[in-house]
Amino acid sequence: MFFHIVMERNMQLHPRHFGRNLRENIVSKLMKDVEGTCSGRHGFVVAITGIENIGKGLIRDGTGFVTFPVKYQCVVFRPFKGEILEAVVTMVNKMGFFAEAGPVQIFVSNHLIPDDMEFQSGDMPNYTTSDGSVKIQKDSEVRLKIIGTRVDATEIFCIGTIKDDFLGVINDPATA
Amino acid sequence: MSLVTDSPVNSSSSDDFAALLDSALDSASSDSSPVEEAKDDDDVEIESIKRHKVENMGSTEEPDGSTSQVSVTEVLEEESTKQNTCTHPGSFGDMCIICGQRLEQESGVTFGYIHKGLRLNNDEIVRLRSKDMKNLLRHKKLHLVLDLDHTLLNSTQLVHMTPEEEYLKSQTDSLQDVSNGSLFMLENMHMMTKLRPFVRTFLKEASEMYEMHIYTMGDRAYALAMANILDPKREYFGERVISRDDGTQKHQKGLDVVLGQESAVLILDDTENAWTKHKENLILMERYHFFRSSCHQFGFNCKSLSELKSDESETEGALATVLKVLKQIHNNFFDNTSDNLMGRDVRQVLKTLRQEILKDCKIVFSRVFPTKFQAENHQLWKMAEQLGATCSTELDPSVTHVVATDAGTEKSRWAAKEKKFLVHPRWIEATNYLWQKLPEENFSVSVVKNQ
């Protein structure tokens, strides 16, 4: 799920950035530092959408660096247990398949793939129904349900299932 | 989705959001977010409806007898126990792959080469293997585990190259299109790699009969770089590239990280000692030394192929030979349709085929083993027996070959007198590598002069 939230961060800035462009420098450094990172609490920071305010800078003794407390708005992404997600399949093997939804790695074990789908090996391994109408392979888009999540400092792992109503392939690149 | 418009956007501090998340995660707590609450309510409602239905069923069927009631409760119990006792057959990022529960202790075998954070327990591995076996046999395929260094290719560090090898640096093939070249310089790894002649054809033909894996003692980065050169289109190996980082034992290779039934796996490797537990699956390869540093490493002080500006033969080299053997084994495994395929063992097929080579030979060794050495335990003795020959310590008319390094020994002279073959020990080794009985004349023994 995506959230639009306000977060706060102390930015340390080298004195060379001081001057007319101080504000721009802080913002660009903030974007570089924060976007694309992952925090266990909030999930994955997708983008900074705005700056609420930049507080008074505090000069560090000895170094000349200045610390600014910055409040900013950002869009974060965090998967939840029970959530339905759409993801792109990255790898298919006999254990199941791996999919990605942005930075999130999802594993769907073959226990949680409908029983009528069989694994087919070959140079393009896939799971296919007996009549061949539905096929999951690399780059397929699937709708799945998250049944377990783990958000680390840098990564998000999820366990998913497609063994439920209305889950499974939503767009097959082979037929598209 | 009232949550999004509701609180966090307008709230001034991120702590609010964190608190909200925490409460959302803890579904048991009562004062959770509106969304969670709504969901919980739904769940409760659905559940109560279900319960209601079941109760109804029970009550309507009650007059028929108490047995149905029992069965209903049994079903309920069964369902609940099924949910409670997930066996946790494996984990991904420390979560069970079936129920999504966080697992405290790590168990099972890590399959890091397939995906980071993936682990499987033994029962699951067994299950996957037997499922895989059926699939494999339907496609008439077996597993083949390939070593990289000295088997499919030869690599050297750039710093170890001799002045005589410098000319190679100007002959490297481009890394843009790796599908045709055979000599590559990997600057970022400070390495030069030469593919063994015939390797492209070998991989192409073997891939039709075998599901292939790479298993190398090199590190992960090296393994992937080599896989990329050997298989630029990713049609042969897929994710089945195993490096020493993925093995379960130090300085050993093991089939425990290979998801294939051991009775259907063949191994091609130049180092027998790496596979102590799986010698029966192993086809030993003659080492491919192209660079000087590689020769040097194994104690050969002769000129290397690179210095002589030559190479192994394309059509009669080790890979061409072993491909024939692989075809033969594949044929023998799938050919006789009489008994069931599942019960067959490729190790047995390999053994039988190997024993054909020197079937009618009776070998006597002369001064090949140290005097106090138990002859039966010597490598050559064992090798000869594996090739189907009979070994003996005594001379008698049925003996066909005498193996010696010196034509002057008593047994050698006997062989000359009785018109038996007198061959060098290399004859056995070469036969073992090339899988055919070689002409004995090429391995004659000369008299060593005693001073």
ipTM here: 0.80
Please list every residue in chain B whose beta carbon sits closer than 8 Å to the beta carbon of residue A151.
none
pLDDT at A158: 93
What CATH architecture does domain A84-171 belong to? Beta Barrel (2.40)
pLDDT at B267: 93
Which CATH number applies to B356-443: 2.60.120.10, 3.40.50.10190, 3.20.20.70, 3.10.580.10? 3.40.50.10190
Judged by CB atoms closer than 8 Å, whether chains meet at B101 and A8 is answered as no
Nearest Cα of chain B lies from the Cα of A78 at a distance, in angstroms, of 10
Give the residue on A whose Cα is nearest the Cα of B94.
Answer: A150
pLDDT at B35: 44
pLDDT at B25: 56
CATH number of A2-77: 3.30.1490.120
Nearest Cα of chain A lies from the Cα of B126 at a distance, in angstroms, of 12
pLDDT at A151: 83
CATH fold match for the domains B132-333 and B356-443? yes
Give the closest of A73, A105, A148 to B100, CB-based. Answer: A148
Contacting B with CB below 8 Å, chain A residues are 2-8, 41-42, 52, 71, 73, 78, 80-82, 91, 93-96, 98, 105, 107, 109, 111-112, 119-121, 123, 125, 146-150, 152, 155, 157, 159
Any chain A CB within 8 A of the CB of B135?
Answer: yes
Best mutation site among A6, A45, A120 for testing chain B: the one with the most B CBs within 10 Å? A6
Residue range(s) occupied by CATH 2.40.50.140 in chain A: 84-171
Give the residue on A whose Cα is nearest the Cα of B86.
Answer: A111
pLDDT at B61: 44
Please list every residue in chain A whose beta carbon sits closer than 8 Å to the beta carbon of residue B257.
none
Give the closest of B4, B94, B128 to A150, CB-based. Answer: B94
Q: What is the DSSP letter of A60?
A: P
Extents of the domains making up chain B? 2-85, 86-120, 132-333, 356-443
User: In angstroms, how far is CA B362 from the centroid of its own chain?
Assistant: 35
Give the closest of A80, A91, A146 to B24, CB-based. Answer: A80
Q: What is the DSSP letter of A112?
A: G
pLDDT at B421: 87
Nearest Cα of chain A lies from the Cα of B121 at a distance, in angstroms, of 12
- Which positions ≥6 away from B360 have C-beta within 8 Å? B400
pLDDT at B117: 86
Give the closest of A4, A146, A152 to B4, CB-based. Answer: A4
Give the closest of B4, B92, B235 to A123, CB-based. Answer: B235
Task: Render each residue's pLDDT in chain B as its tens digit; 451 residues.
Answer: 444 444 444 444 455 555 655 665 554 334 434 444 444 444 444 555 555 544 444 444 444 444 445 555 555 555 555 456 788 888 998 899 988 888 887 778 888 888 888 889 988 899 999 888 888 888 888 999 999 999 999 999 988 888 888 888 888 888 877 888 888 888 888 999 999 999 999 999 999 999 999 999 988 999 999 999 999 888 888 888 999 888 888 888 888 888 888 889 999 999 888 898 898 899 988 889 888 888 888 888 778 888 888 888 888 888 998 999 999 999 888 876 656 777 788 898 899 888 888 888 888 888 888 777 777 788 888 888 889 888 888 888 888 888 888 888 888 888 888 888 888 888 888 888 888 888 888 888 776 655 4
Any chain A CB within 8 A of the CB of B76?
Answer: no
CA–CA distance, A154 with A39 (Å, rounded to integer): 7
Flag residues of chain A having pLDDT under 50. Answer: none
Q: How many CA atoms lie within 13 A of B216 on its CB side?
A: 21
C-alpha distance from residue B27 to each of B23, B39, B101 (Å)? 7, 10, 15
Any chain A CB within 8 A of the CB of B239?
Answer: yes
Residue range(s) occupied by CATH 3.30.1490.120 in chain A: 2-77
CATH number of B132-333: 3.40.50.1000
Residue A119, SS3?
strand
* Strands B118-120 and B109-110, sheet pairing: antiparallel
